Amino acid sequence: MGAVVRAEGLTKRYGRNRGIRDVDLEVDEGEVFGFLGPNGAGKTTTIRTLLDYLRPTSGRAEVFGMDSRKESVRIRERVGNLPGEFALEDRMSGEGLLRFFARLRGVGDLRYAHELAERLGADLGRPMRRLSRGNKQKIGLIQALFHRPPLLILDEPTGGLDPLVQEEFLKIVGETRAEGRTVFLSSHNLAEVEKICDRVGIIREGRLVSVETTGTLVNKAFRRVRMSFAGPVDPGPFRALPGVKDLQADRESLSFTLHDNLDEVIKLAARYELVNLEYERPSLEEIFLAYYDGEERRS
Ligand SMILES: Nc1ncnc2c1ncn2[C@@H]1O[C@H](COP(=O)(O)OP(=O)(O)OP(=O)(O)O)[C@@H](O)[C@H]1O
């Protein structure tokens, strides 16, 4: 499996504004790659630069091995793109818009488009300008998906969608991957990223600060531990153990986050009569917040 998207030292400055700096990135064929970061981190800038809607200040990007500046037309033919602002104020209906895109792309058959509209509950009959944000977004997704492109680049695909529609969208992404196609999506919604992404890139203040498989990111993080005992427990020795943080205690129970050192914690707990033990891994959201918090303190 080769890289479908590759960025090397990709940098975009907007005058004195930061944009993105030195982004090195590879997205492999057949994977679902999640691009995470808070508002203003540089997700949209990266996506627009990959597709040559923006010219990089320095560095380069390739999509399907083609230079994104020199071969943007050929690249865009093979990409289904949902831009960050899909807000057409058009008189045309969703159906009209899809027919327009179908002609442009030389696709004769709109059956998959109609199937997607049905599944997402999209209203294809109304003028685009009369649709709510979420309903516009559905049309935006359908136009990105219906010609079954080998690469999907989706900027905040579930923004404005209600939870049931989000679930359906996640199924569609799963089917896309099962067909061996590649998906690159940016998101704020960490629960959804955790469900569908094989790998995750975290961007912070224009720099890509981490790329990991979703499993690694979640597994190497801390755990939340809660212990209840049959009698009073002395929290002091627990608090003193390396790896134990944010410990809270009442007479017969302890709760804390554990970053390391499970063995010593269990041995210490075994000196008491333990009646309950909860050991939970955090959500990607908690990891992300902790990551950002830690980064902030380091910088
Ligand atoms: N046209 C522009 N002119 C000047 N600065 C810009 C422009 N577009 C983006 N920026 C700046 O570049 C940085 C990255 O913005 P970008 O829109 O790529 O972030 P994002 O991660 O997509 O955020 P969001 O989640 O809010 O969409 C921000 O500091 C932003 O202020």
Q: What was the ipTM of the complex prediction? A: 0.95
Span(s) in the chain for CATH 3.40.50.300: 3-219
- Return the residue whose CA atom lies nearest to atom 25 of ligand 1: 39
pLDDT of 291: 67
- Which ranges of the chain would DSSP assign to H, the alpha helix? 43-50, 72-77, 94-105, 111-120, 133-145, 163-178, 190-196, 214-219, 235-240, 262-269, 284-298
pLDDT of 16: 81
Ligand 1 binding pocket includes 41 (Cβ within 6 Å): yes
Over the stretch 248-258, which tens digit does the pLDDT of each residue have?
999 999 999 99
pTM of the model: 0.83
Residue whose C-alpha is closest to residue 274's, from 251, 252, 246, 242: 252
Pocket test for ligand 1, best of 10, 11, 12, 44 (most atoms within 8 A of CB): 44
- Return the residue whose CA atom lies nearest to atom 13 of ligand 1: 19
Q: Residue 206 Cα, ligand 1 centroid: separation in angstroms?
A: 9
Over the stretch 231-273, which tens digit does the pLDDT of each residue have?
999 999 999 999 999 999 999 999 999 988 899 999 999 999 9
pLDDT of 1: 55
pLDDT of 294: 56
* Low-confidence spans in the chain with pLDDT less than 50: 297-299
For the sheet with 58-63, list strands across it.
Answer: 17-28, 3-14, 58-63, 66-67
171 Cβ contact partners less than 8 Å away, ≥ 6 residues apart: none
Paired tokens of 119: 């599944």
pLDDT of 295: 55
Task: Out of 2.60.40, 3.30.70, 1.10.20, 3.40.190, select the CATH number for domain 222-280.
Answer: 3.30.70
Distance (Å, whole) CA 184 – CA 174: 13
pLDDT of 266: 95
Q: What is the DSSP-derived secondary structure letter of residue 281?
A: P
Fold of 3-219: Rossmann fold (3.40.50)
pLDDT of 292: 67
Ligand 1 binding pocket includes 299 (Cβ within 6 Å): no
Span(s) in the chain for CATH 3.30.70: 222-280
